[in-house]
A and B are shown apart, each in its own frame.
Chain A
Amino acid sequence: MDIVIRAAIVFIFIWVLMRVIGRRELSSMEPFDLIMLVMIGDLVQQGITQNDFSVTGMLLVGSTVALLTVALSYTNFRFPRLRPVLEGEPVIVVQDGKPIERNLRRNRITLEELHALARGQQPRDPFTRSTSRHRSILARSGIPKVCTGRRAKVKSRILPACPRLTTCLPCRT
């Protein structure tokens, strides 16, 4: 019984931790972040399984995590009002080619980082085109997405950069 409870507690702890750390840190996988993630994984594993070397223990932990993931996903789907709490909400950090400094600061993103990320998603840096209607949205996943208005010719090329429909919806001005 205890291993199921430990796995559930750790699942909730990791979920809260990821929400507290913030989307900015999750999306930037610097070497330090990668090491931190591996370290957290190792610490978590010891807390859950302790000395348990059994296949049964592994099945119990796997089942607990799987069921809690399904439960979280279903809650998110079934109760839209809980979505901002469970997944967070997108934040617009660039509007009509102009960065919104307050939103960038709140998410601890520098302009240089935003430019670099935008260049990775666009053939040309969208902030250099003053006439464009580009928006950059810090998606729930933590990765800024560059989207355009309906009239942009490059729309079909840009949309695949926003794999999640919910992320792209606010772009449709």
Chain B
Amino acid sequence: MTALPDQLDRKRHVELESRGLEVWLPRAGVVVLLAFLALALANVFGQKIDTARATAAAADLELKAPDAVRPGLIYEVQFTVTAKQALEEPALVLDNGWFDGFTINTMSPDHEVWVQRNGRNVLTYGPVAAGDELVVRLQYQVNPTTFGTREQRVALEDGGSPILAIDHDAVVFP
């Protein structure tokens, strides 16, 4: 039998005794990576756009926004107000979570008034006739240092009177 080089042992280095873990650990690692990527392909880590809707007698509101995002990503949030009756001063009331740790690149159309009320941002727009739509688009980018969950509730008001609201959370992965 051929002699082995120094410091090598036949049982350990040829017959691979007590080294079963070296086979199974990499396999387990591959399984973990596969599971991780499966979650990513299922959009767990962002940034698939989800749609939420709320209906009331005066208007409907549709929100298109991602539930999960990652720092640096650019995305669009869309609010669609469908007026069932004339809205004189439609206003979107956005939680602080819509702005905390995010950069708003553009906003269209421009609001007529932007005020803060108890830490919430109230964006007031011009009148919307019955049957018409008001589509507000916000172009976002997540700041690189942002992570955690942001409460992003949006409410629709007309002349200060609440019409409806949608509860939405966004998770920012580190």
Q: Which residues 17-64 of B sit at the A interface, judged by CB distance below 8 A?
A: 30, 33-34, 36-37, 40-43, 45, 47-48
Q: Is there a chain A Cβ closer than 8 Å to B164's Cβ?
A: no
> Which residues of B have CB within 8 Å of A2?
47
> Which residues of A have CB within 8 Å of B40?
1, 3-4, 60
Docked pose: A1 CA to B34 CA in angstroms: 13
Chain B contact residues, majority secondary structure: loop
Docked pose: A4 CA to B46 CA in angstroms: 11
Residues of B within 8 A of A (CB): 30, 33-34, 36-37, 40-43, 45, 47-48, 70-74, 141, 144, 173-174
**B2: min CB distance to chain A, Å:** 14
Number of A-B pairs, beta carbon distance below 8 Å: 53
On whether the beta carbons of B72 and A51 are closer than 8 Å, the reply is: yes
Docked pose: A53 CA to B37 CA in angstroms: 18
Docked pose: A67 CA to B45 CA in angstroms: 18
Task: Map CB proximity to B onto A36-79 as digits: 1 under 8 Å, 0 otherwise.
Answer: 00000000000000111111110110011011001000000000
Residues of A within 8 A of B (CB): 1-5, 50-57, 59-60, 63-64, 66-67, 70
Given contact pairs A4-B40, A53-B72, a sample of 18 additional A-B residue pairs in the complex whose CB atoms are under 8 Å apart: A1-B41, A1-B42, A51-B141, A52-B70, A52-B73, A53-B144, A54-B72, A54-B174, A55-B173, A55-B174, A56-B173, A57-B70, A57-B72, A63-B33, A63-B36, A64-B37, A67-B37, A70-B30
Docked pose: A67 CA to B48 CA in angstroms: 23
Docked pose: A54 CA to B68 CA in angstroms: 13
